[in-house]
Amino acid sequence: MNFQGRKIALIGGAGFIGHHLALACRNQGAEVSVIDSLSINSLTSFIASPAEESHRSRSIQMIQERLRLLERSQISLHTVDARDAKILVRTLELIKPDTILFLAGISHAERANKDPRAAFEHGLVTLENTLDYSQRGLAHFVYFSSSMVYGDFPEGGATEDTPCKPVGVYGVLKLAGEKFVKARHESEGLPYTIIRPSALYGERCVSRRVGQVFIESALMGNPVSIKGSGEDRLDFTYIEDLIQGTLLVLSQPRAKNEIFNLTYGESRSIADLAETLKVYFPKTEIQYGPKDFLMPKRGTLHIEKAKSLLGYFPRYPLEVGFQKYIRWYQL
Ligand SMILES: NC(=O)c1ccc[n+]([C@@H]2O[C@H](COP(=O)([O-])OP(=O)(O)OC[C@H]3O[C@@H](n4cnc5c(N)ncnc54)[C@H](O)[C@@H]3O)[C@@H](O)[C@H]2O)c1
């Protein structure tokens, strides 16, 4: 892939997915700019957070490392709150991107469900502000949605054509975001792609999703706590697979005006994840607690569409990706 001559802006680009993606686009030769407030699941929120000290300082270190990597790759960082339409548009006018990747929001379902207003403002108001700019002849708008738009997965898993029946604020907002993007395509011809990732894990994630919590608990010699019976299944996806898929989306015209599931493509149980962890931390004790009732029943996201249309080929089954992730912690 050669992205020479392209100008890519990432809204929410200092986050977990965003910074990996910004670095990958830069590696392909694009001029890359990140717009991020650094305030949600990021520096200022952790600095102000009452979280346990070890978690707080580890998260701050990881985010500082992201920022160092961005700087070293000559990616410009604009510390801007995308809720502020005027400042956002002024910044985009300065950057003049041909492609926008939209990742901002409260990316954690539990947190979004607890604070619907903040989730609405950071996920949808920011989106609307970005779309207002994007009507000016943008070549490609990529929206990061979520597998949570499906709600309870049907037996056998979800394809992009599975009807969306989200449960809880997070899934509803993600689906609303998709509809906002599509509406701009219908009314203004905005070329878009919607990506539905799920259960990501990998280096420098501070979101405290299950994989991160498991590893950090094991490293500290604490028991690992599973919500529910351990039989719940997720399509665990290593960050490098999502990055590969997104680069394909950015490089192929046939990705435009389409929706793609971009995951590993095979669900695994939380108990499987715990077993994988035990290979490296055999003494770790597993405990079981109550399940979050707003979490839908999930499973496999079928990725045949991305495979056949884009040539997407995920390379990291859980055992391989998780081992890489654990090694990174141990370095
Ligand atoms: N990580 C996953 O497993 C996963 C799965 C499915 C979907 N997604 C979606 O992908 C997107 C990115 O996820 P992530 O894991 O990188 O999340 P993240 O929390 O690491 O990153 C989100 C970034 O958005 C920024 N942001 C939030 N509000 C902002 C605002 N008002 N102005 C400017 N910046 C703002 C934050 O500072 C943060 O850096 C999210 O929309 C999320 O819903 C993530």
Q: What is the mean pLDDT of each run of 10 residues along the chain (331 residues)?
A: 95 98 98 97 87 83 97 98 98 97 95 96 98 91 98 96 96 98 96 98 94 92 89 96 98 98 97 92 90 84 98 97 95 82
How many A from CA of 104 to the centre of ligand 1?
4
What's the rounded Cα separation, in Å, for the pair 254 and 65? 35
Atom of ligand 1 nearest to the CA of 237: 3
Q: Please answer whether residues 121 and 103 qualify as being in contact, where contact means their C-beta atoms are separated by less than 8 angstroms.
A: no
Determine the pLDDT at residue 205: 97
Number of C-beta neighbours around residue 288 at 10 A: 13
How many A from CA of 178 to the centre of ligand 1?
15
Give the residue, out of 36, 100, 107, 124, with the most ligand 1 atoms within 8 A of its beta carbon, to mutate for a pocket test.
107
Looking at the whole model, is its pTM more than 0.75?
yes
**Token pair of 259, please?**
């929706």
How many A from CA of 215 to the centre of ligand 1?
21
| Ligand 1 shell residues, CB under 6 Å | 12, 14-18, 36-42, 81-83, 103-105, 107, 122, 126, 144, 146, 197-200, 207
Give the residue, out of 11, 17, 75, with the most ligand 1 atoms within 8 A of its beta carbon, to mutate for a pocket test.
17
214-235 in b/e form (b: 16+ CB < 10 A) is bbbbbbeeeebebeeeeebbbb
What's the rounded Cα separation, in Å, for the pair 142 and 295? 26
* Residue-by-residue DSSP string for 155-188: TT-B-TTSPP---HHHHHHHHHHHHHHHHHHHHH
What's the rounded Cα separation, in Å, for the pair 184 and 186? 5
C-alpha closest to that of 300 among 272, 276, 264, 258: 264
Atom of ligand 1 nearest to the CA of 174: 43
Between the two ends of the chain, the Cα-to-Cα distance in Å is 31
Beta bridge partners of 34: 10, 77
Determine the pLDDT at residue 136: 80
C-alpha closest to that of 213 among 38, 48, 55: 55
Atom of ligand 1 nearest to the CA of 206: 20
Determine the pLDDT at residue 70: 98
Please tell me the residue having the least CA distance from ligand 1 atom 36: 40
